[in-house]
Structure 1
């Protein structure tokens, strides 16, 4: 940080110059000031008004500054000398905001007189009729091309206007409370709004459709701003935080920035690496942004990466890609260890053998290959199928491989000869899932005939009755001890079965829609299920109950896996992130691991210290992940319940129980614990 940029009273607004060399601040001390961004020294004399100064901004060249004041005027100043350049621009009430057009020809102002106005920047004359609202106009800004203006009003709307004619464009963008701020993205394609309803939202500027949000704070918002590349949004709230979000997914990018007073404003610098904030303590600060980063080089393919799986020793990772290859990498250095393992079509699955000397790959081309990783060559002839192969597994019994094909067959092969040992079944449709039991004695599989089946892996005979649902079964898996099986179905249930008899051992795990995946925890006590509504749910199997609030993403969850110790879960989502969660509370344990496209798959390393992610952007990545502790602090479930409180204010908006938050903050502050949960809570409370 630089030295503080002091005023005699509250600093309400701050902004970088276009070249990043200067900062202008607006204060309740009736002045605006221009500062050197590096040294924190003043550049000009004070820019004086007759009352509080609400905003101050540079022109595109950085040579001029426009200010807006409680005294009912906006003023234009020379940014080098601090001298006024025109007569004051008058409204009938306080001027809340003023801004230059990109070409510096016009200025737009927003006022408590229920209007925004557009002025000629040289003459100080109005160029169109007032832009009218039914409440005070809190802000008005030009689009990047200068052709449109967006206004934010206490009537609960933001509106788009033609800057040349003053005509209203499209429908208003609505909130449940005052809209205190609205701004275009740098490319002009999106708009961000901030409201007294404690949310911000990102909208499509062309059609008014919601893109991301609501982005929630604990108190009303004051400000929101896009990063220069439009990939992030910073929001400022009366809860004394500034927060940075993905403008595409609405997920947080870094931890909240806690300040000593109410945060009045925040602004990115030109390259998006820093933010300047202003708060009610009378000080402005400059912060560096450090979003989460992968801890290893990207593992790159030329097509979407469908999976990234660790080897048993955690030293290697194998990736499967739509570019028709699987690749084996050193998980520490990111170095490719063999030549690409090539198919003639996308590779759906790739696994390393238990001893790490072989790899198994399955492809859209209908073949399965067993590779010698020392030479990069096939150990046996390809195992040929009549359709794409999506599921493969090494057996725990030496020399066995399981394959499942879209032609409805599940087969077991001998790895030394490449011959089919057992053909378990011929389903009428493609296989949804297939798996050996841990001892290799049985196989479970499911297809589109609304059932799953268990077979003897030696004889191929069915074991027990089919495990029936009333709709498609998407997934089936044995418990780690092999005594039970779980199935996931479009009938809205996951079910737990006795794997010997085929009888249900608990009541169905009920969901509100299709269940597309279910997996046991390593100790078999919990099951996680995935639904298309962007959630995953953790269940306690002995008690047949939901353990915590559902895990939520901003897009469909594509995979969910337990950590080796079962204390954590990693999810991968279409919202372009993977994230690690606490199993018993459902709370996130880290910031999102972000890609530039949907994340297809994520799993923990064998030691639980890292995760591997596979993305449609054509890369896999490896991330270091904090280790969970046990037991969970007693206050953590209370905090989750408090933050999800159901009290309603006079606008019928839910908000946390703040008295309980204060008590929890004191409890956390007084705790001597150093575990990740307590550290996370201290960051949350700004300790």
Structure 2
């Protein structure tokens, strides 16, 4: 690793000053007011100090100063974030913090551009999904409704009613014409017309639904139950297949970005399998001397799958066609979260209640480990921005944290 000096300043100081300048000089212009009538500096994202460990290997990594941006609700500063999502272009971030409000920020400068609440939900918001157009967002709430909002004006466009309890999952189809919602209380899955709010179809599930994912072409919907994945056809509104392992146990799965295959992982009996995403037919069972587990994920190009091995405290990548082992990532504890950057360049891994680490996905090279304080918090989810320059993390408590991967790479 090379240590760069600019004048009398190290690269870490140069980057820190750059970030301070961006956030200290941010202002609201007439153009901002025209685009976002409710823009405000209240609840704006705040730069905070942390540390990043950078080196050619984990054992040789040294600590450097690193700033990250935190997002919270200033009206409820101690509240935890229940849900967060980016617009498809990565320019807008929306989140809700133990309340019936949805906050919307501009990522470039962290300014709060909208607070969605007027004539909105009566109870806490649990889930969010942006439309492909970026200008509307759907929220699901404890009040048994989902609401489609105009993000710019803050107005309610449509209210989706019909569930018998908390709406815990909402998802826009990639083509933007359908919205899927699910409710754990009545164990129902509903499909809505996104432009009219008309209910298209309702499915019943015999278990709680943990995740909803549309195929890239919007022709299929996948619903994650505790021990299975259900496949629904969105043209005929029929349940076409069920993916499950021989032994009923907690199942984790991931859809390839191409939409052609699904990888599943379960702790018992320790299997990782690849399936046809249309028919649900098993294509490949990946073998390993020790039991494999989850999380599991496809690389963005679909050529590899990643799986966890709890016994070895490792994350492993395999050829997705042959099942041949490619790389081993050694961690200090069992891996609990994995996220690929959209371009496949980075791989973010976190072991149980340990700092988040970033690797070069193709070579397996260690790049950085982030220390933000209170790293014993449970990590709920991580997301790379579409441009692959930053990574958002949501913990079980505290604010959202956005770290700039590009700046960290400049310090290497």
TM range (shorter): 0.7 to 0.9
Given candidates 335, 341, 361, the residue that maps to 2:111 is 335
Relative to structure 1, the CA distance from residue 500 to residue 514 in structure 2 (aligned partners, 3 Å threshold; closer, same or farther) is same
Quick one: distance in 1 between partners of 2:104 and 2:382?
Answer: 16
CA contact (8 A) 1:306 1:601 kept: no
Per the TM alignment, residue 463 of structure 1 is displaced from its structure 2 partner at its CA by 2.5
Note if 1:291 corresponds to 2:69: no
Distance 1:479 1:417 in 2: 31
Checking the alignment, whether the CA contact within 8 Å between 1:353 and 1:359 is kept in structure 2 is yes
1:92-241 aligned within 5 A: none
What is the aligned counterpart of 1:548 among 309, 319, 327? 327
- Deviation of 1:348 after TM superposition, in Å, equals 3.0
Q: 2:86 aligns with which of 299, 310, 318?
A: 310
CA deviations over 1:457-486 (Å, ceiling 9, x no partner): 121223346544412353344322222222
- SS for the counterpart of 1:462 is strand
User: Is 2:312 aligned against 1:538?
Assistant: no
Distance 1:495 1:622, change over 3 A: same
TM-score normalised by structure 1 residue count: 0.46
Q: Distance in 2 between matches of 1:626 and 1:401?
A: 34
Q: What is the TM-score normalised by the length of structure 2? A: 0.73
Matching of residue 470 in structure 1 with residue 250 in structure 2: no
User: Are the equivalent residues in 1 in contact too, given 2:254–2:297 (CA < 8 A)?
Assistant: yes
Q: Distance in 2 between matches of 1:578 and 1:570?
A: 7
Among 581, 590, 596, the residue aligned to 2:359: 581
Residue 609, structure 1, aligned to residue 389, structure 2: yes
1:338 to 1:531, Cα distance in 2 relative to 1, 3 A: farther
Relative to structure 1, is the Cα distance of residues 473 and 408 closer, same or farther in structure 2, using a 3 angstrom cutoff?
farther
**Aligned residues between the structures:** 347
> RMSD over aligned Cα, in angstroms?
3.3
Aligned to 2:196: 417
State the match for 1:515 in structure 2. Answer: 293
**Against the structure 1 CA distance between its residues 480 and 458, is the aligned structure 2 distance closer, same or farther, given a 3 Å change threshold?**
same
2:234 to 451, 457, 473: 457
Counterparts in 2 of 1:472 and 1:297: CA distance versus 1, 3 Å: closer
Contact 2:260 2:276 in 1 (8 A): yes
Note if contact 1:422-1:459 (Cα within 8 Å) is conserved in structure 2: no
CA distance in 1, matches of 2:142, 2:272: 29
- Tell me, yes or no, if structure 1 residue 395 matches structure 2 residue 169: no
Which is worse superposed, 316-325 or 341-350? Answer: 341-350
Match of 1:269 in 2: none
Greater Cα shift, 430-439 or 586-595: 586-595
Cross-structure match for 1:479: 256
Change in 2 beyond 3 A, CA 1:613/1:469:
same
Q: What corresponds to 1:353 in structure 2?
A: 131
TM-superposed deviation, 1:378: 1.9
Label 1:598 to 1:577 Cα distance change in 2 as closer, same or farther (>3 A). Answer: farther
Residues 253, 441 of structure 1: alpha-carbon distance in 2 compared, 3 angstrom cutoff? closer
Alignment of 1:413-452 (within 5 A): 413-423=192-202, 425-448=203-226, 450-452=227-229
2:283 is paired with a residue of what secondary structure? coil
Contact 2:257 / 2:302 at 8 angstroms: preserved in 1?
Answer: yes
Of the two, which has the highest radius of gyration? 1
* Partner residue of 1:372 out of 150, 154, 177: 150
SS of the residue 2:192 aligns to: strand
Q: C-alpha displacement at 1:439, in angstroms?
A: 0.4
Q: SS at 1:549's partner residue?
A: strand
**CA spacing shift, 1:307–1:582, aligned 2, 3 Å:** farther
Q: Which has the higher contact order (CA 8 A, sep 6+)?
A: 2
Does the 8 Å contact 2:54/2:64 carry over to 1?
A: no
Deviation digits for residues 253-299 of structure 1, max 9, x if unmatched?
Answer: 5458xxxxxxxxxxxxxxxxxxxxxxxxxxxxxxx9743221x3544
Contact map agreement 2:256 2:298 (CA 8 A) in 1: yes
**Separation in 2, partners of 1:302, 1:429:** 33
In the alignment, which residue of structure 1 is the partner of 2:163?
385
Query: What secondary structure sits across from 1:626 in the alignment?
Result: helix
Q: Which residue of 2 aligns with 1:6?
A: none
Give 1:388 shift: 3.1
Which consecutive residues of structure 2, in runs of 5 or more, have no partner in the other structure? 1-49, 56-61
2:243 and 2:210 map into 1 onto residues whose CA distance is 15
Separation (CA, whole Å) in 2 of partners of 1:458 and 1:321: 36
**Residues 350-404 of structure 1: CA deviation (Å, up to 9, x unaligned):** 2222221011222344332211112223211144422333332111234201123
Rate the CA distance shift 1:502–1:571 in 2: closer, same or farther, 3 A.
Answer: same
